[in-house]
Structure 1
């Protein structure tokens, strides 16, 4: 304690912890050499605050992280979507460490289902432990400051408290041969789609889950279903990565001090192996996408709406990343339009990430001829904007940006005309140019003679 007190001035909380920095230097680029899975794609949108005047501003830096790797030697694909909170440091750490726990021979086709599931569980637990070891100096400095009255209300202590509360939810999918395994923690979501059938592969680990409340009651703390408890953090996770105050520091909480063990755990729920031959595609996404669809449409089953929207864009986009980004863009647009139409107060939308993995069972035609999307967007701009399956196909969004609001192409206030195939018709007459050009060529040819 005395040593830490003497060296507290050296702990510059504006810079990275030495151990975290060492990890980042060692792991920042190693995944660059791991092949990306070409049968998958990712789309995302950064968080926004919608103001009453129609403008939008970013609330905080982007905190989602994802990866999609393939190792041919083991017939292995690993996908992850991680939703950071309180900062991106935990999600960033996890997406650099978990692939190292899975890609180098730990998972091989000969492994049994139970052995694979145990490997995934241990990967989450091990990485969570490594993260806390990497911020050991910060945790020690925080403890010293809490015991020293001169730091009781300092900005340095407040900054440390914010940093150690950072955490991440996440969902991890592994395709090993023809088997699928999914590990989830927090409230990120996963689903499989097959011929109109949706198979959910994740549950929410929050105080809204009765099984989780039962687990906590066995540890000695009784919580009421759906009641908000600030001690568990803003998102009320009962399982997550990071978030020291509800793990190693749970004895500091009056609500959790009676627990016999750490109440919030890093152990994921794991499903598998699921044969993938008959399925069309797998979706992994942050809960914010689910919330945005629910708020934009009022539907009771956002998962189905997201799957149907993906099916639509399979016909419109030529790449899987294009499909994922088109779905995210459409949801963001509809979410913002809903707010404008209601005339409500300022509202927010969190970071969104959607990862799509296509399987051999997918029979959707991929991509249309160039220009068709723009043509349909112009023809459909008067259609009601909705995602519900009872409606016609969703309106085709402008693909340039999530913040672009126009549904067509304009020049000097006039819409550029297009033909029946969606191609832009000529709008500049070059006849006088060619007439002068031919006259000049003719005159030059005569002078040469």
Structure 2
């Protein structure tokens, strides 16, 4: 059956456009994985229901400061894009130094998120002013039906402007400064701290708490503002989703009085105040790694598997990927691809279902890498003690690999070494004369075996082989074979 899934696009493709953050160095201890939303069609195909709305980053600085973030946008990508652009500017341009203590770091992190929130609303001031101006042109006490019928042009302009400022984003951010870890969270994106013990068991601690209508503390806060909590639970959402905190989303903040579900609140019911955790010394996290993810990552897996909490499943998947790789590259993306495939396999034929954008950031702290990986392309040289040293023509080429043990799997390129046969007394000269009529063996340096194909030496290589190769080679007083290579050309 043909694969009808949507291929995973790169971060640059999904969040198109040039950004000042493109010049920030990426953290090599981490990886970002993402996949756009999917709607399952009746003919078995999959399509993107709307443009990708999430954003993520994994930055490192020259002064051992690291910043990671996942921003789960909704009703458009404007807020997520703004937050992902602005937050690094508030944290990575000299605000944090080796002299800041824990309290100062938390204050800087909280202020940075507050500045991002304020800056976003300043960025939509022009649209808000236009909406106010257009609304002033409509007669008072005009019903929506009458306005649509008699002032359709103005109404359409207002709708278009409303759409342009609609939506917000969650945020989960990790900051490493002075080798201490700090986490900030707004909304229902999630941070996990995972540790693999010596026995191979992965333990998971969810650091963040979801800010949504399932959080009793959040419901109590809304109740104190005068909102009917029972009606909120009955509707199953506040505004456009379940979140009780977010960055942006004018219609549940500055414009909440125009929202029939929220207008009874005595003040803005949805806030951008983050919960901040830390700092936790990285040296105390043995076998550990950090996971940041949007809510659809764990919700999609919970839907697919029927498990109540997908945290441990995701942590095990990440740990497995890290054990199978020598670097962090591709770890998060492979996990995202597996979750996407699992959801597609479970619900691809249920045409009424879909999956949202899924975004994952993984940061290794002290988890082992590459235990189950294939050997490095440059393996450790074998111990030649007790054998006759031998000179081998050498050419620095990625196709050639020294290999004598025969332990590597098929398909790994090899170049065999020819060792003198151990016949006769140790100090007795050994005749290495090849058979005069025999073609070169595939076990000699004359042929390079690369991926199963045989390559003869180039004419340039022939220039440096001894022309009198058919004469017997003798060992010197130190029991070494004379070099094959002639340096007369030099």
TM-score normalised to structure 1 length: 0.73
The aligned residue for residue 51 of structure 1 is 41
- Give the SS at the match of 1:154: helix
1:66 maps to 56
Task: Give the 5 Å matches for 1:165-204.
Answer: 165-195=166-196, 196-204=202-210
The structure-2 alpha-carbon separation of the partners of 1:203 and 1:350, relative to structure 1 and needing over 3 Å to count, comes to: same
Question: Over residues 278-305 of structure 1, what are the superposed CA-to-partner deviations in whole Å (9 max), with x where a residue is unaligned?
Answer: 2411011111110111111111220110
Instruction: Provide the C-alpha distance between the structure 2 equivalents of 1:430 and 1:161, rounded to a whole number of angstroms.
Output: 64
Gaps of 5+ in 2: 1-16, 139-150, 197-201, 377-407, 413-451, 457-490
Aligned to 2:163: 162
Contact 2:323 / 2:368 at 8 angstroms: preserved in 1?
Answer: no
Q: How does 1:18-417 map to 2 (within 5 A)?
A: 28-73=18-63, 75-149=64-138, 150=151, 154-195=155-196, 196-224=202-230, 227=233, 229=235, 232-277=238-283, 278-279=285-286, 280-340=288-348, 343-359=349-365, 361-365=366-370, 368-369=373-374
Deviation per CA, 1:152-171, whole angstroms, max 9, x where unpaired? 87332222222222211111
Q: Aligned to 2:340, what secondary structure does the other structure show?
A: helix
In structure 2, relative to structure 1, the CA distance for the partners of 1:318 and 1:229 (3 Å cut) is same
Deviation at 1:43, TM superposition (A): 0.9
Partners of 1:132 and 1:306 lie apart in 2 by 35
Q: Secondary structure at the match of 1:254?
A: coil
CA shift, 1:231, in A, is 7.9
Partner Cα separation in structure 2 for residue 430 and residue 102 of structure 1: 53
Q: Structure 1 residues 98 and 55 mapped into 2: Cα distance closer, same or farther (>3 Å)?
A: same
SS of the residue corresponding to residue 217 of structure 1 reads helix
Asked if structure 2 preserves the Cα contact closer than 8 Å seen for 1:318 and 1:367, the reply is no
- CA deviations 1:309-342 (Å, max 9, x no partner) are 01111122343231111111111111111124xx
Deviation at 1:248, TM superposition (A): 0.8
Hey, which of these two has a bigger chunk of helix by percent?
Answer: 1
- Separation in 2 of the partners of 1:129 and 1:273? 26
Supply the distance in 2 between the matched residues of 1:422 and 1:290 (Cα, whole angstroms): 38
Alpha-carbon contact 1:44-1:352 (below 8 Å) kept: yes
Shift of 1:260: 2.5
Three-state SS of the structure 2 residue aligned to 1:43 is strand
Structure 1: unaligned runs, 5 residues or longer:
1-26, 372-419, 435-449
Distance of aligned partners of 1:137 and 1:226 in 2 relative to their CA distance in 1, 3 Å threshold: closer
Q: Would you say the 8 A contact 1:77–1:176 is kept in 2?
A: yes
CA offset digits 1:126-177 (Å, max 9, x no partner) = 1111111111010111223334432587332222222222211111100112
Match of 2:230, SS state, is: coil
How far is 1:49 from its partner?
Answer: 0.6
Cα deviation 1:362-397 (Å, max 9, x = unaligned) = 1243562289xxxxxxxxxxxxxxxxxxxxxxxxxx
**Secondary structure class of the residue paired with 2:243:** coil
Q: Which residue of 1 aligns with 2:148?
A: none
C-alpha distance after superposition, 1:184-208 (max 9, x if no partner): 1111111111122211111111111
3-state SS of 2:251 partner: helix
Q: Does the CA-based 8 Å contact 2:21-2:85 persist in structure 1?
A: yes
Q: How far 1:245 moved relative to its partner?
A: 0.9
Cα–Cα, structure 1 residues 422 and 267, in superposed 2: closer, same or farther, change >3 Å? farther
| Residues 231 and 353 of structure 1: CA distance in aligned 2, closer, same or farther (over 3 Å) | closer
CA deviation digits over 1:62-118, x for unaligned, max 9? 111111111222x21011111111111111111111001101222223322222112
Aligned-partner Cα distance in 2 for 1:221–1:332: 37
Greater mean deviation of Cα atoms: 297-306 or 32-41: 32-41
CA RMSD of aligned residues (A): 3.0
* Cα distance in 1 for residues equivalent to 2:40 and 2:409: 36
